[in-house]
Amino acid sequence: MDRFVWSSGLLEINETLVIQQRGVRLYDGEEKGKMDVGILLLSTHRLLWRDHKNHDCCIAMPLSQIVLFEEQAGGIGKSAKIVVHLHPAPSNKEPGPYQTSKYSYIKLSFKEHGQIEFSRRLSEEMTQRRWEHMPVSQPIYTSTTSQAGRMRAVGIVGIERKLEEKRKEMDKNISEAFEDLSKLMEKAKEMVELSRSIASKIKDKQGDITEDETIRFKSYLLSMGIANPVTRETHGSGTHYHMQLAKQLGEILLAPLEEQGGMMALTEVYCLVNRARGMELLSPEDLVNACKMFEALKLPLRLRIFDSGVMVIQLQSHSEEEMIASALDNVSEKGSLTSEEFAKLLGLSVLLSKERLLLAEKMGHLCRDDSVEGLRFYPNLF
């Protein structure tokens, strides 16, 4: 940690921020630093760190100090880390948080994750070495090393060897995995082609295929994740699975819908349902396909798409006229309303209250006053 210097944290001209990650703690070798948790920043020239509470406490280190780095996976109770091996500090270094250190490496502990992206970017910067051909106005001290005269602590060579081995091992595992993946994909490709030929056969002899066989085919496509090119008319892309889902939704959504005034945005429903499930979650498309079947299954809910593209689930019992009439009442009572005010009044989300006002406007009951101060609705007296 004695390679760091105090810094204002301001970037120089020609120095660009590459990525930043909060929730990082610095270790001096194996020892937890005297610094708290903070934000780690990577620029084209330096590695910076700023204390998350005390923004004045900021330290920096040129990237040229870095010999190599390795990733250390996290575990139970342990955050993932990046171990950065460093060249010795140059003699003309500015003051920093540590005068000396017995370690030639630091650890970056990612308490709030983000190590994947950070590692990727750091790797890119270390490869590109942009600091070498993008000079900055204030000379960031560079370590007194050159390609030829690299002074290395004995340990570094050993670490490099270990890293190389680890890399080879990982490459072997990955290539095995990729090889298996490629073989799997070949088989999947066969399935796709098979499904295409069946699909075209179905299209040709529309009359001869039974409803049952079509439904079965659709569920095959669903299992494989192949888009259904054929029978989009009957129940959309619905399958037995979606029918079951629709019935389940029909039950679990009744209470929440009532609470929310009869209408919920589909994204809200998605979160609600998946949070409740915990595992074996629904995909967005599963949800949409299930909702499309409400009408056919005579369930008391409907999927509705507004002009704006917003998709909602609506209680069948909530008649359109009722909603519009009550919107008109509310607006008339208050003289005028914005979507935010209306939302607060009804305890609805701003998005849905806006849709209701727009609907009432479409039916001619309200008219708008559109200015930079916002969209306000008035009763239509024309």
Select from 57, 153, 209, 311 the one that contacts other proteins (CB under 8 A): 311
Site for other proteins in 124-153 (CB under 8 A): none
SS3 190: helix
With tokens 């949070």, the residue in question is 275
Indicate the residue among 186 and 321 with the shorter CB distance to other proteins.
186
Ramachandran quadrant class, 91 (left: phi over 0; alpha: psi -120 to 50; beta: rest)? alpha
Indicate the residue among 160 and 286 with the shorter CB distance to other proteins.
286
Select from 57, 134, 215, 282 the one that contacts other proteins (CB under 8 A): 282
Phi then psi for 183, rounded to 5 degrees? -60, -40
Site for other proteins in 78-117 (CB under 8 A): 79-80, 110-117
Window of 155-163, 249-257, 265-273, 329-337 that interacts with other proteins by CB under 8 A: 265-273
Cα–Cα distance measured from residue 216 to residue 200, given in angstroms and rounded to the nearest whole number: 16
Which residues are 342's β-sheet partners?
A: none
Indicate the residue among 104 and 260 with the shorter CB distance to other proteins.
260
Indicate the residue among 22 and 247 with the shorter CB distance to other proteins.
22
Indicate the residue among 138 and 223 with the shorter CB distance to other proteins.
223
Select from 95, 372, 381, 382 the one that contacts other proteins (CB under 8 A): 372
How many other CB atoms are there within 10 angstroms of residue 289's CB atom? 24
Cα of 285 vs its chain's centroid, Å: 18
Select from 129, 162, 172, 189 the one that contacts other proteins (CB under 8 A): 189
Are 160 and 70 in contact by the 8 Å Cβ rule? The answer is: no
Select from 4, 69, 270, 294 the one that contacts other proteins (CB under 8 A): 270
Question: What is the smallest separation between the CB atom of 269 and other proteins, expressed in angstroms?
Answer: 9
DSSP symbols for 42-76? EESSEEEEEESS-TT-EEEEEGGGEEEEEEE--BT
Question: What is the smallest separation between the CB atom of 230 and other proteins, expressed in angstroms?
Answer: 13
Site for other proteins in 158-177 (CB under 8 A): 173-174, 177
Straight-line distance from the first to the last Cα atom of the chain, in angstroms, rounded to the nearest whole number: 74
CA nearest to 347, candidates 261, 256, 254: 261
Residues 6+ apart with CB under 8 A from 335: 378
Cα–Cα distance measured from residue 372 to residue 369, given in angstroms and rounded to the nearest whole number: 10
* HEC per residue, 3-14: CCEECCCCCCCC
Question: What is the smallest separation between the CB atom of 14 and other proteins, expressed in angstroms?
Answer: 15
Question: What is the smallest separation between the CB atom of 217 and other proteins, expressed in angstroms?
Answer: 7
Q: Binding to other proteins by residue 314, rule CB under 8 A? A: no
Q: Binding to other proteins by residue 375, rule CB under 8 A? A: yes
Question: What is the smallest separation between the CB atom of 143 and other proteins, expressed in angstroms?
Answer: 28
Residues 6+ apart with CB under 8 A from 329: none
Per-residue interface string for the shown chain with other proteins, residues 199-228, x marking contact by CB under 8 A? -----------------xx--x-xxxxxx-
The four Cα atoms 221, 235, 306, 331 give a dihedral, to 10 degrees, of -140
Per-residue interface string for the shown chain with other proteins, residues 8-47, x marking contact by CB under 8 A? -----------xxxxx---------------x--------
Question: What is the smallest separation between the CB atom of 95 and other proteins, expressed in angstroms?
Answer: 24
Q: Binding to other proteins by residue 243, rule CB under 8 A? A: no
Cα–Cα distance measured from residue 208 to residue 187, given in angstroms and rounded to the nearest whole number: 29
Indicate the residue among 228 and 330 with the shorter CB distance to other proteins.
228
